[in-house]
Amino acid sequence: MLYIVFYFQVHQPFRVKNFNVLKTKSTVEYFDNSLNAAIFNKVAEKCYLPANALFKELIERSDGRFKVSYSLTGTFIEQAKRFRPEVLHSFLDLVKTGGVELLNETYYHSLSSIFDLDEFIEEIEEHAEIIKKEFGMLPTTFRNTELIYFDKISDLLFATMPQIKTILIEGADKILKGESPLYPRVSANHAHLLLLKHYKLSDDIAFRFSDRSWDGYPLTPQRYLSWIKDLRLIEKTGKNLYLNLFMDYETFGEHQWAETGIFEFTKGLVLLALKEKDLQFLWPSEVKDTLNYTPAPISVPNPTSWADTERDLSAWLSNPLQWNAIKTCYELIKKAKEQKRYDLLSILKKLSTSDHFYYMCIKYFQDGDVHKYFSPYSSPEEIYRYYMNILAEIETNLEG
Amino acid sequence: MKVLMLTWEYPPFIVGGLGMACYGLFKALAEKGLKIYMILPTKEQVFFEISSGWEADFPVAKSQQKKQLKPLPLKFYQVGYLAPEGAYLDNLRLFSYQPENTTDFLEKKKLLTTISEEVLKRIENLLNKGNHSLSRVQRYLQNVLEVAKHLEFDLIHAHDWMTYPAGLFLKHLIQKPLVAHVHATEFDRAIGYGHPVVHEIEYLGLNLADQVIAVSKYTAQVIKDHYKVPEEKIQVLYNAFTVLTNEPKKVKKFKSPVILFLGRLTPQKGPKIFLEIAKKILRQYPKKVRFLIAGAGEMERELMFEAASEGFGTQVLFTGFLTRQEVEEALSLADIVVMPSVSEPFGIVALEAMYFGCALIISKQSGASEILKNAYKVDFWDVDKIINIIVDLLNHPEKLKNLQQKAKEEVKKITWDIRAEELIKIYKELFAN
């Protein structure tokens, strides 16, 4: 059997506004609410609402045989409530169909797993809490920010979060070393089942779908399905295979506009796949119950992620601006906790969202373009200035 | 007396000190009863008339027919220039043009320097072969000749090289005295040899003008040494300063003392030296001092990377470009201002810093240092000496306070009113010849 596991990432950061310490007004707002609202509403129109409607229809039409999983960040849920409650309701409706699994991650979509492990656990708990409160679910599958993973994360979750059984990770070449991502693995400590993203087939939809210079263009459901079916050729002994298609939810309607035919493609693909006898859709948490073999362990000593061509931390941590900004942010988080300054702490946590550091990235060629496309700022220097001036003011507030 | 002022900057269209100096000077001259016509690098052919202090604050654009235009939107050419790129622009055929009723002007002084057709041809050639910014200088020249033929004035006063070609052509046409004012030379901007065309335009402008005005002795020396202008032709007219607030106050924003760099982030202003100082002090006294780098410029990324890689957190802060209001806020919260300029014709910020009660450390390679008493004057490269002064001041708050107080008092006496008087004297001497 070949199982298809869909997981979509749903996230919005609180982007900071043009700020410098010379602005002496005392009741300052550090986040650009109008920009954040505008972006949220744009993405809601182009992606969240139409995509939710599509997946809801597919779940209902298939009698629950079509299944998907989502991870909604805490900052996304906050923004949905504030800028467009309709979006949150639409996700609730979707969850009510029974065809959705919700995953657990860091509330702030942060890099706390690299910088502050206490904060990391705290954010996972905060996130589990809001998912429980808003959707009445207790997640048992974990995905870290941008699929960042290394062995220590499994050790830590095993010690602190016993309900987590499964972790989603990037099927990076450097950890697979030529092996297939279709076979789930167990963590080096044997505590968690690891599902590996099939980046080739995921990115065919997420990145290449509308690329006219790509030899797969134009991609039809039939063609994509034939690629999926071909995957089964590698397995001769009857082991179940798991095709993990992980991507940003904005793929549907935002990164790939509706005009590209992405919605029709998705619908066509799901309907075709539902007709196949030996293809099934699955939630991440169900994988462990369908395995008909003992998965092999895999060791990931150094962090991997799904970002950029390097699949490492370089999207957020490759230049001194990023390092100085993030290091200072976590120093202040520690300080604010010591002083019990919860007012400042909630701002600082929003400042720890990985997107801020992504905007500070200075890389060339293809990935630089991607960073530029996603950044609302004209240059890495611009966001760094605003960001550090905000931290300077918070630091001063913490001094007394 | 009526003066035609040719300048590339005027508030709010300013990048550096030139615009603020022109504003202060023109306003003071108008208050002394002079009538000023000003032509700026606008795309429209307009001039501005300033005959009172109020008009200096809100100059209104007028067309040649002296009809009032809507003040906005005027389109300004961007200031600054790029390296030669082998470009050209439409041919300038303006010196074949003869203005109407200029005969009565021609009677006057014959003692003025004359400009040969050859020189004009050379200038035309230079501008034609130049890059984008030289073509703007050429368009400005066209505008000036067109607008000025309808205006009546006694002399032409051109500020910095961008306006010298216009000044020379106009002087040739109407035989009025030309004053070339030097706020900065290409040697300052480029630190050493800069754009050869700019050097040549400066050379021609300064040597063919009837009077050269330098903003400091330091600059007068540069003009003598590098442009071979005879000493007797150069007069020094120092700058003064203009601020928005009448009551400078100190604001305590941070717990730790604030050391400020304020200026464009270009090699000329020495921001790298400032960062060197910051690094050495912060390594020795982590978290004890805050360094503010205020301004925009092409060195921002380099400076940011260098500061960030030391991991000083927020102890070295960048503010980006500051509005006039923010400049004054920055000065209000600074304890010490360091101006390590490598070559600074004057440096008006020095006066503003003292007015806001900042202790000032200024490089000897700055014109302003010639007239200041209550400030430390140090060679720009002497990083250790600057550090010793800063550490000494921070360790002795009384000494710092005392210096700040004296600085504040001292600059109150430096006004544009005095400068206007000095300039009128220079004008009169020019006519007396």
Q: What Cα–Cα distance (Å) separates residue B340 from each residue in B271, B272, B277? A: 7, 9, 10
pLDDT of residue B87: 24
Q: What Cα–Cα distance (Å) separates residue B368 from each residue in B243, B325, B358? A: 17, 23, 15
Bridging pattern class, strands B178-182 and B155-159: parallel
The interface pTM score, or ipTM, of the predicted complex is 0.89
Judged against a pLDDT cut of 60, whether residue B79 lies above it is answered with no
Bridging pattern class, strands B61-62 and B155-159: unpaired
Residue among A101, A105, A134, A146 flagged as catalytic: A146
| Helix, strand, or coil (residue B85) | coil
| Burial group, residue A261, by CB count within 10 angstroms (0-12, 13-18, 19+) | middle
A233 touches chain B (CB under 8 A): no
pLDDT of residue B130: 66
In angstroms, what separates the C-alpha of A337 from chain B's closest C-alpha? 18
Q: For chains A and B, count residue pairs whose Cβ atoms are closer than 8 Å.
A: 71
pLDDT of residue B15: 66
Q: Chain A window 279-338: which residues touch B at a Cβ cutoff of 8 Å?
A: 319-321, 323-325, 327-328, 331
Alpha-carbon span B302 to B290, nearest angstrom: 19
Residues B357 and B221 in one domain: no
Tokens describing residue A1: 């059997």
User: CA nearest B324 in A: which residue?
Assistant: A22
Residues B404 and B424 in one domain: no
* CB-based contact B314 A388, cutoff 8 Å: yes
Which H helix or E strand runs over A105?
none
User: CA nearest A385 in B: which residue?
Assistant: B318
More confident residue, B127 or A85: A85
Judged against a pLDDT cut of 60, whether residue B387 lies above it is answered with yes
* CB-based contact B313 A395, cutoff 8 Å: yes
In a domain, B288, yes or no: yes
Interface of B with A (CB under 8 A): 251, 253-255, 290, 292, 300-301, 304-305, 307-309, 311-314, 317-320, 322, 326, 329-330, 333
Give the number of C-alpha atoms closer than 13 A to the C-alpha of residue A33, restricted to the C-beta side. 7
In a domain, B246, yes or no: no
pLDDT in tens, B289-343: 999 999 999 999 999 999 999 999 999 999 998 888 899 999 999 999 999 999 9
DSSP A203: H
Tell me which residue in A24, A389, A396 faces B255 most closely, judged by beta carbons.
A396
Residues B224 and B263 in one domain: no
Tell me which residue in B251, B254, B314 faces A328 most closely, judged by beta carbons.
B314
Q: Are A192 and A202 in contact (CB under 8 A)?
A: no
Alpha-carbon span A316 to A307, nearest angstrom: 9
Judged against a pLDDT cut of 70, whether residue B102 lies above it is answered with no
Alpha-carbon span B78 to B15, nearest angstrom: 10
pLDDT of residue B106: 37
In angstroms, what separates the C-alpha of A284 from chain B's closest C-alpha? 41
**Residue located via tokens 């060195």:** B299
Residues B379 and B316 in one domain: yes
* CB-based contact A20 B320, cutoff 8 Å: yes
In a domain, B249, yes or no: no
Q: Which own/partner contact pairs does A49-55 have at CB distance under 8 Å and 24+ positions apart?
A: A49/A86, A49/A87, A49/A90, A50/A252, A50/A253, A50/A258, A50/A263, A51/A249, A51/A252, A51/A253, A51/A263, A52/A90, A52/A91, A52/A93, A52/A94, A53/A90, A54/A252, A54/A263, A54/A266, A54/A267, A55/A94, A55/A99
Instruction: Answer yes or no: A146 catalytic.
Output: yes
pLDDT of residue B90: 24
pLDDT in tens, B198-209: 999 999 999 999
> Which CATH number belongs to the domain containing residue B287 in this structure?
3.40.50.2000
Cα B153-B158-B160 angle, rounded to 5 deg: 170
User: What's the pLDDT band for B131 if we cut at 50, 70, 90?
Assistant: confident
Buried b (16+ CB within 10 A) or exposed e, B191-221: eeebbebbbebbbbbbbbbbbbbbbbebbbe
* CB-based contact A22 B251, cutoff 8 Å: no
* CB-based contact B304 A382, cutoff 8 Å: no
In a domain, B245, yes or no: no
Q: How many other C-beta atoms can be found within 10 angstroms of the C-beta atom of residue B320?
A: 19
Tell me which residue in B255, B300, B313 faces A324 most closely, judged by beta carbons.
B313
Which of A23, A28, A324 would best serve as a mutation to test chain B binding (most B beta carbons within 10 A)?
A: A324
* CB-based contact B319 A20, cutoff 8 Å: yes
Alpha-carbon span A122 to B393, nearest angstrom: 45
- Counting the structural domains of chain B, the total is 2
* CB-based contact B317 A320, cutoff 8 Å: no
pLDDT of residue A242: 98
User: CA nearest A25 in B: which residue?
Assistant: B253
Q: Are A392 and B313 in contact (CB under 8 A)?
A: no
* CB-based contact B255 A399, cutoff 8 Å: yes
Radius of gyration of chain B from its Cα atoms, rounded to whole angstroms? 22
For B71-83, what is the mean pLDDT? 40
* CB-based contact B318 A400, cutoff 8 Å: no
Residues B173 and B303 in one domain: no
Residues B401 and B420 in one domain: no
Cα-to-chain-centroid distance, residue B3 = 19
Alpha-carbon span B27 to B56, nearest angstrom: 5
- Write out chain B residues lying below 8 Å of A400, CB-based: 255
More confident residue, B41 or A372: B41
Q: What Cα–Cα distance (Å) separates residue B390 from each residue in A197, B7, B263, B265? A: 57, 38, 19, 22
Helices (H) and strands (E) in chain B, counts: 16, 14
Closest CA to A80 of A120, A117, A134: A134
Alpha-carbon span A383 to A376, nearest angstrom: 9
Residues B365 and B398 in one domain: yes
Domain holding B119, by residue range, is 2-240+416-432
In angstroms, what separates the C-alpha of B350 from chain A's closest C-alpha? 19
DSSP B396: -
* CB-based contact A24 B311, cutoff 8 Å: no
Residues B178 and B310 in one domain: no
pLDDT of residue B193: 78
Closest CA to A295 of A190, A147, A141: A190
For B255-269, what is the mean pLDDT? 94
In angstroms, what separates the C-alpha of B16 from chain A's closest C-alpha? 20
Which H helix or E strand runs over B400?
helix B397-411
* CB-based contact B326 A20, cutoff 8 Å: yes
Which H helix or E strand runs over B319?
strand B316-320
More confident residue, A345 or B67: A345
User: Which residues of chain A register pLDDT less than 50?
Assistant: 365
In a domain, B252, yes or no: no
Judged against a pLDDT cut of 70, whether residue B82 lies above it is answered with no
pLDDT in tens, B145-175: 999 988 999 999 999 999 999 999 999 999 9
- Write out chain B residues lying below 8 Å of A325, CB-based: 308
In angstroms, what separates the C-alpha of A26 from chain B's closest C-alpha? 11
Q: What values do phi and psi take at B350, rounded to 5? A: -55, -45
Residues B323 and B278 in one domain: yes
A397 touches chain B (CB under 8 A): no
pLDDT of residue B101: 36
Residues B62 and B190 in one domain: yes
Residues B70 and B189 in one domain: yes
* CB-based contact A384 B319, cutoff 8 Å: no
Which of A19, A21, A389 would best serve as a mutation to test chain B binding (most B beta carbons within 10 A)?
A: A21
DSSP B67: P
In a domain, B381, yes or no: yes
* CB-based contact A381 B330, cutoff 8 Å: no
Closest CA to B79 of B175, B11, B156, B2: B11
In angstroms, what separates the C-alpha of B376 from chain A's closest C-alpha? 26
- Average confidence score pLDDT of chain A: 94
Tell me which residue in A382, A392, A400 faces B317 most closely, judged by beta carbons.
A392
- Average confidence score pLDDT of chain B: 87
Q: What values do phi and psi take at B415, rounded to 5? A: -125, 160
Residues B117 and B136 in one domain: yes
- Write out chain B residues lying below 8 Å of A388, CB-based: 314, 317-318
